[in-house]
Amino acid sequence: MPDHYHSPPLPPRPPAGTLRLPAVRGVELGAPLQWLALGWRDVWRCGFLSVAHGLALALFGGLLLWLAHDRFWLLAGAFSGFLVVAPVLATSLYALSRALERGEPIGASTIALTWTRWQYSRYAVHGGYWSMVRFGLLLSLAGTGWVLTSAALITLLAPQPVQTPMDFVRHVILAPGGHLFELWLTMGALMAAPLFASSVVAMPLLLDRRVDVLQAVLTSWQAVLKNPIPMALWAGLLMGLTLVGMATAMLGLIVIVPWLGHASWHAYRSLVDASNLPERLLPEGA
């Protein structure tokens, strides 16, 4: 593992109100492929602990597909929401990779503590438990905004009402003489780009260090702005592999979800040197 993964002793916690950001590294174009390789290694090392995440989300996605297969906007909203909050849902996968990196034992307790006690901090006002909750809510609001904006665009410009997935295919994707689908895709890309930039390393940083949402989001933007081409490749890989998982009747998500979750941890470790920030550790007796 690269030497920069080993952090020096931590400095004292900064005074309240001080906004301090970690250093962001430049990476090579092929770095996303290395993150995928490291993520795949972690899937094998964690075994069912990792795959269980993908299995749960695949079952949930299959249930949504069954319930809303003939209601396009409900289906679109559900899957848009899933894509937006995926960095939050992968939190325990980051924790597993973090433990592996440190040589710590992993087990079901690692996952349980991630969702119950990992974010505990006696410095509750600075990067406390609610940081990740607030960030998840913000992402959910962003996903809702996209669905509402998309619905307004399609409702105003589609030649016929769109109620089912087949309506969307006929009246938007295959509509003759129009460019509604291209406009819809462009608008989606414009809305997805800032969401990606805000979240690509934010959640692993919130898990790993006692930081607040603003610090995490600003660090994530710095990582993207410093590495625009590698991060564009990373965004394409995340989206492409996720779509492959969905296109296989959700079955591919069983492996792809944990793979991308672990890989996202390694993306964070490669891009961000957070050694100047206090760690988020479990309280004594947890």
Q: What is the pLDDT of residues 220-265, one digit of tens each?
A: 999 999 999 999 999 999 989 988 988 888 899 999 999 999 999 9
Measure CA 193 to chain center: 13
Query: Does residue 285 carry a pLDDT above 50?
Result: no
Q: Measure CA of the first residue to CA of the last residue in the chain; give whole Å.
A: 29
Query: Does residue 279 carry a pLDDT above 70?
Result: yes
31-40 pLDDT, tens digit per residue, is 999 999 999 9
- Range ranked top by mean pLDDT from 108-112, 121-125, 199-203: 199-203
pLDDT at 125: 44
Cα distance between residue 136 and residue 216, in whole Å: 13
Query: Does residue 68 carry a pLDDT above 60?
Result: yes
As a whole number, the mean pLDDT across the chain is 82
pLDDT at 123: 45
Lowest mean pLDDT among 5-9, 86-90, 185-189: 5-9
- Degrees (nearest 5) of the Cα angle 103, 88, 195? 125
pLDDT at 70: 76
pLDDT at 204: 92
Report percent pLDDT > 70 for the chain.
Answer: 83
pLDDT at 185: 82
**Residue 7: which pLDDT band, with cuts at 50, 70 and 90?**
very low
**Residue 63: which pLDDT band, with cuts at 50, 70 and 90?**
confident
Lowest mean pLDDT among 36-40, 51-55, 77-81: 77-81
- What count of Cα atoms within 13 Å lies in the side-chain half-sphere of residue 147? 19
Q: Are 27 and 231 in contact (CB under 8 A)?
A: no
Q: Are 73 and 278 in contact (CB under 8 A)?
A: no
What average pLDDT does range 153-167 have in this prediction?
83
Alpha helices in the chain (DSSP H): 31-46, 48-67, 72-89, 91-102, 108-116, 130-157, 165-168, 180-199, 202-208, 213-226, 228-247, 253-271
